[in-house]
Chain A
């Protein structure tokens, strides 16, 4: 399935995986007008994966993400969620958007109201919330250490706190995959570190499957397990160890910078 992967994935590894993929992209292409922004994207996401999606500006990271979220029509190919061919995306992916910080700072919404929004994807029609939803919200607030902030206005919180609230909103609907778009771009380094710690724990302890879109190779090299490197098509998809051993990649990044984000994987 990984036609676009220069380093062929051995089939044996795929067969050894017990569970079916949570997300499968088959030959996905997306066009804006006449320009093809994504060409023949194919990859699979399995339970427990922690994948960094990287690429230069204009490489189609955001487009890929929107396609996965079902916000864009595909010009060819298909995207399968779970086993179903046509299963709806809604509620399967917990989404943490990038633009959180540009939202109206004076917007009147309490933390618990924002988090409760994450329960709406699993509902239809009027989307009324019930006591189960409220319990799930309280449990998620507690889990992410937000209980004390539950009645605060979202705009009055610090950047890191706001990002945790939006993470709670993304997780509270029990999605099968967590998708984050440049989640730390507006955070200072210390808060960024803390945020990645939370993601790491979610992945390690809860086996939360994470797709992390970022232009920051350093961060995703440090925290994620697999890399999907994109420039309108997939240039690499596989583990960081493979990536760091691959000689093709030094052509893209140069030996020195490759050494930088590969340090953890080659010196572990």
Chain B
């Protein structure tokens, strides 16, 4: 036990672990704040789609030897708005629209990657996350953007909640529902572009879905769901980073497995409470 504490203390002494925790916790909160809107609007898979778009944008950035984040964010934001538009207008269902944009992006990413063989290792780190090797310039930008996402959801909480529950009533109340959807789309895009650093393209959508669905098992209120989901997400992330350091496991995978364990426990509690 003392050994473990020593190792954790040891881990905390590293600058990169502290930075990973800072960025990771902020992104985990972003995911929980947005997850409830996406899950309840049956738009959970937008995370997956946008992660694939992010993957393509990282390939483009690496090809141009540019820093990935400034390239990714505008493109992913546009893709997110495009998915929203497609699902609203073109008589496509939301999930089909996501599927189109998503597979096109993966195809683009793969083709670009094969055109320039040199950066495949780097690209791999975006597939499964590499939070422990985040650059300093990325950290500042990530913290600013994550705080922006959290602030935006807090500030627009009432209109967003009203629109999530009942779009027509929100409209009658003078709330601009479409603008609200666009805001969610933009914030989600930013979160995904930041988040693929933490758990990677393959796993980012789980960071959006798991904590929300876990909290929904036990929470009655909207605010309570967001709070509980943030708590679950932050605990999973923190424990995941330390555990992966301790046991030399991949960080992203460890975080998601912890999230899954939380879900299993909460699901079990709800079933027990129902039968009792």
Contact = CB atoms under 8 A, between A and B. Distances in A.
Nearest to A179: B172
Contacts of B155: 126
B158 A129 contact: yes
Contacts of A128: 158
A152 B159 contact: no
Nearest to A152: B220
B171 to A, nearest CB: 6
A71 interface: yes
Contact of A90 (B40, B156, B161, B172): B172
Contacts of B166: 97, 103, 117
| Chain A contact surface mostly | loop
A89 B172 contact: yes
A137 B178 CA distance: 27
B175 interface: yes
Interface stretch (A105-113, A210-218, A223-231): A105-113
A91 B174 contact: yes
Contacts of A143: none
A208 B87 CA distance: 41
A127 B222 CA distance: 17
Interface in A63-117: 69-71, 88-91, 93, 95, 97, 99, 103-104, 106-110, 113-114, 117
B150 interface: no
A207 B220 CA distance: 35
A117 B174 contact: no
A153 interface: yes
Contacts of A69: 172
B222 A113 contact: yes
A120 interface: yes
Contacts of A106: 216
A37 interface: no
Given A91-B173, A120-B173, A128-B158, A108 B168 contact: no
| Chain B contact surface mostly | helix
Interface string B16-56: 00000000000000000000100010000000000000000
Contacts, number: 78
A71 B223 contact: no
B216 A108 contact: yes
B104 interface: no
Contacts of B175: 120, 127
Interface string A124-147: 001111000000000000000000
Contacts of A121: 172-174
A93 B173 CA distance: 9
A151 interface: yes
Given A108-B219, A108-B221, A117 B165 contact: yes
A167 B171 CA distance: 17
A107 B165 contact: yes
A113 B40 contact: no
Interface in B218-243: 219-225
Contacts of A71: 168, 171-172
B211 to A, nearest CB: 13
3 smallest CB-CB distances across A and B, nearest first, come from: A90-B174, A121-B173, A110-B221
Given A109-B221, A117-B170, 8 more contacts: A88-B174, A90-B174, A97-B169, A107-B165, A108-B222, A117-B158, A121-B172, A152-B220
